[in-house]
Amino acid sequence: MNSFSSKSRNQLLSFARNEKFDLIVIGGGITGAGIALDAASRGMKVILIEKDDFASGTSSKSTKLIHGGLRYLKQLDFKLVREVGQERAIVHRNAPHLVYPEPMLLPVIKGGSLGKTSTAIALWLYETLAGVKSSEKRKMLSKEATLLLEPLLNDEILKGAALYTEYRTDDARLTIEICKTAVSYGAICLNYLKVNEILKENEKVIGVSVSDGLNNDMFNFYATYVINAAGPWVDELREVDNSRKGKFLHLTKGIHLVFQRSRFPLKQAVYFDHPDGRMIFAIPRENSVYIGTTDTNYKEDKEVLEVTNEEAQYLLNGTNLMFPLLKLQISDIKSSWAGLRPLIHQEGKSPSELSRKDELFISESGLISIAGGKLTGYRKMAEKSVDFVVKRFKKEFKKDFGNCKTENIVLSGGDFQGIAEVANFIEQQTGESKQVGGTFQLIRKLVLKYGKNTEKIIALAYELWPQTENKDSVLQLAEIKYCEENEMVIFPADFWIRRTGALYFEYEGLIEKIERFQDSFHVNLNKTHSELREKHYSLLKELDKSVNFK
């Protein structure tokens, strides 16, 4: 049953309803995906269920960096800096097409939080703790050298800079590739299944009751153990279990704004001071530049998360001070996103001061909940969760599933020997795809999303070529078909937002594309025409929401 095709969804559901699993994982973000992969690779029978689409919550709304935790030095959290530095190297090795180095400029400014000496010391400590390789270690730059790298910086307050290395990723794609890898080890991963009840026998958890978001069917899944990895919704599930006691989540909100690179011609990624003491990233990506993030308390509806005019203006003000020639305005924003951080509450601490550490909560019923943490640390969070389950299996059933193996598991599409091989593969596949309209730019975009699975998309394009009237569309059609058959795409929004990031970074002509290809999504199981139209218009509303703020 190792299928991740939306066409197999009904078959997978039928199988799962009659199966007793070792582990149910609730939550299809990066933590849940990581747990599913870890557990399945140790030999457990695993099912992962997500109430919306995979990575539809926090795991598609981050700053899209697998970073080494430089900012955690301010909190003197040396252990976290060391751990995320090590994890960054591991995920880069296992998915070099998705996680790759991004030189980052850290300006030293008059009145800033760090001077030249303190910046150099902080980066030295960071590099020592994180195990940064010599080729990626800091370089301290003069004001003149800094302006050569990034002429847009405010030369009136600039004193110099440090150049160090972060790692960039696509958070949603990373989550999907982890799910695909988990499926290859035998896990079942299903979206649009909402947990309504925690099933118990003799006051102990034995499974979950779910509703199918595609047809409102209700059914049960059973397992020996259940892990709640629902991110910002962890406490809601603890309430369903009647176990929300002691520590609880503290949600903070972060937003990001996207601009055309022609309007914000940033040459170099920059990590800079906001006047209020927070730090902001400005990161070039293809033909766009995005900035973020904010960090504010959030207690409103988690299902309706929007960027406000006030939040956007906060980022614009800080950015315009650092890049005064730009004079960016709300009208310049081409897209945006808002996400929630599920942190562990600490009395008396501001959002920025809250620890990014993760914690396990074990209820009297046996429900295991994991919360907190960072994108970079997803694999260690998964290991901690699965290790706990393994100990329980040993103690209660004398069954041993062994140790974590994910440090050496290459993610789907990531079988490259470093980024040089990724570049060679792009060149090779450009040549292979020329007869179906492949160009270097198109193939590069595909490879940086799908890695070696790009070969399958190109093969599909050759299959579709004879029957496709508009030959310019064949690679796009092949990509849609690939995602339906291999990445559990159900609705167009799954594809245009989570699988491709097009809503955020390929916004030019996107409405026309959405309209043109809406009938190319063939699965949409058991949905009426009116329901499909509703889903179509909800995608257009998401697009509108990303540029029109309250």
408, 430, 448: which is the final residue of a domain? Answer: 408
- Residues 194, 241 share a domain: yes
Let me know if residue 293 belongs to a domain.
Answer: yes
- Residues 368, 323 share a domain: no
Domain of 446: which CATH number? 1.10.8.870
300, 318, 349: which is the final residue of a domain? Answer: 349
Let me know if residue 71 belongs to a domain.
Answer: no
- Residues 475, 337 share a domain: no
pLDDT at 201: 97
Distances 492 to 299, 450, 481, 534 between C-alpha atoms, Å:
30, 18, 11, 11
pTM greater than the 0.85 cutoff: yes
- Residues 499, 366 share a domain: no
pLDDT at 1: 64
pLDDT at 532: 67
Let me know if residue 550 belongs to a domain.
Answer: no
332, 349, 366: which is the final residue of a domain? Answer: 349
Q: How far apart are CA 116 and CA 122, in angstroms?
A: 10
Alpha helices by DSSP H, 323-404:
378-397
Let me know if residue 70 belongs to a domain.
Answer: no
- Residues 360, 342 share a domain: no
What residues pair up with 370 in beta bridges, in sequence order?
Answer: 360
Let me know if residue 74 belongs to a domain.
Answer: no
Let me know if residue 515 belongs to a domain.
Answer: yes
Phi-psi region of 48 (alpha: psi -120 to 50; beta: other; left: phi over 0): beta
The position carrying tokens 């929630």 is 340
- Residues 370, 310 share a domain: no
Name the DSSP class of 65: B
Let me know if residue 514 belongs to a domain.
Answer: yes
- Residues 539, 437 share a domain: yes
pLDDT at 215: 86
- Residues 156, 130 share a domain: yes
- Residues 537, 394 share a domain: no
pLDDT at 526: 54
Count of Cβ atoms closer than 10 Å to residue 169 Cβ: 23
Let me know if residue 67 belongs to a domain.
Answer: no
Domain housing 377: 6-58+172-248+355-408
Q: Within 13 Å, how many C-alpha atoms sit on residue 180's CB side?
A: 26
- Residues 366, 314 share a domain: no
pLDDT at 504: 97
Number of domains comprising the chain: 3
Q: How far apart are CA 459 and CA 148, in angstroms?
A: 44
- Residues 538, 513 share a domain: yes
- Residues 328, 374 share a domain: no
Full pLDDT tens readout for the chain, 550 residues: 689 999 999 999 999 999 999 999 999 999 999 999 999 999 999 999 999 999 999 999 999 999 867 767 766 778 878 888 889 999 999 999 999 999 999 999 998 877 889 889 888 988 888 888 888 999 999 999 999 999 999 999 999 999 999 999 999 999 999 999 999 999 999 999 999 999 999 999 999 999 999 888 999 999 999 999 999 999 999 999 999 988 899 999 999 999 999 999 999 999 999 999 889 999 999 999 999 999 999 999 999 899 999 999 999 999 999 999 999 999 999 999 999 999 998 777 777 766 678 899 999 999 999 999 889 999 999 999 999 999 999 999 999 999 999 999 999 999 999 999 999 999 999 999 999 999 999 999 999 999 999 999 999 999 999 999 899 999 999 999 999 999 999 999 999 999 999 999 999 999 999 989 988 887 555 555 666 677 777 888 899 999 999 8
